[in-house]
Amino acid sequence: MSPIAVTTTNLIQGPATLYQGLYGATEPADSAVNTTPAASAWTDLGGTQDGVKLSVDQTYSELEVDQITVRVGSRLTKVDFTIETSLAEATLTNLSMSLNGGTSASGTGWASYDPNVTSSATQPSYFAVIMDGYAPNQFRRRIIGRRMLNVDSSELAYTKDKQTLIPIKLAGHYVSSVINPFHIVDQTS
């Protein structure tokens, strides 16, 4: 038996930064993977807790025949992807993002937020996100979710011994036949 080769520079550890933009916002070029997205189009959502996680769930339908006992083949029938974290900065802006929009106002010494409570027949306000983290060799990895909504419960919990967080689970949605719902690029040099 030959020994297992491990390339230690392929091991990744470290935080990711999450940015929000409007649906259809101009995306940074792949060659700009190691730069901060343009502040005019992308807003840094601030500190996170418990990491930032991309999950891709693929569902396959099994193909079978009477004459063979082993699965003959499979066909992809569904793909769900999410980006999940807890926003550590419990601002009204982050709360608004977690509730997929709403109305904000501000004046001297105050700011307010009212949630969107339109009809279920109304199209929600989709947005885009960028997740910037690490890739092998201490380079950068960028994940762009192009049409996202928070699909999980939002909460603002105030407790004596715990930090207030805004948990989010951003689900990706279909964009078009020529634009993929998410894109991943790694820096290589």
Residue-wise pLDDT for 28-44, tens only, equals: 999 999 999 999 999 99
* DSSP label at residue 159: B
* Predicted pLDDT of residue 69: 94
**pLDDT bucket at 55, cuts 50 / 70 / 90:** very high
Q: Supply the mean pLDDT for the chain.
A: 94
* Residue 121 scores a pLDDT above 80: no
Taking 90 as the threshold, does the pLDDT of residue 126 lie above it?
A: yes
The C-alpha atoms of residue 37 and residue 47 are separated, in whole angstroms, by: 16
pLDDT of 160 reads: 94
The residue ranges of every structural domain in the chain are 34-186
Alpha carbon distances (Å) from 174 to 50, 60, 95, 126, 147: 27, 18, 24, 11, 7
Neighbours of 63 (CB within 10 A): 10
* Structure tokens, 71: 């699965």
Displacement of CA 24 from its chain's centroid (Å): 15
Residue-wise pLDDT for 91-106, tens only, equals: 999 999 999 998 999 9
The pTM of the full predicted model, rounded to 2 decimals, is 0.90
Residues in Cβ contact with 48 at an 8 Å cutoff, skipping those fewer than 6 apart = 15, 16, 18, 85, 86, 87, 88
